[in-house]
Amino acid sequence: MPIHNKLVRDRIPEIIESTGKIFYTKIMDRDEYISELRKKAYEELDEYMNTNNKEDAVEELADLLEIIHSLAESHDSSFEEVETVRQRKAEKRGGFKERIFLIEVEDE
């Protein structure tokens, strides 16, 4: 039996059960959950970094967004609050749409 030891989406046990396979899960405490969400964020970011077409990139971005939603909730916040902070920062410092690459700043 393959050992996974990782956070999975909520319906994965149901999907596995429908195949007739035996599986084992546990419900994590808050700290372990946040730790596993962080690991999952790295995993999904790595998968995004290794895409080479639009469809795969969008799939992986959707996975990252799901992780962000869950992380926000785990910090007693909401995606809406995260989005408000993002907008405020974009107004103050801008976004990344203009593709500006800073090369050097001279000290006087």
Instruction: Note the pLDDT tens digit of each residue in 55-75.
Output: 999 999 999 999 999 999 999
Give the C-alpha separation, 66 to 37, whole Å: 10
Phi, psi of 95 (to 5 degrees): -105, -140
Binned at pLDDT 50, 70 and 90, residue 1 comes out as: confident
Binned at pLDDT 50, 70 and 90, residue 25 comes out as: very high
Residue ranges of the domains in the chain?
12-78
Question: Is residue 54 over pLDDT 80?
Answer: yes
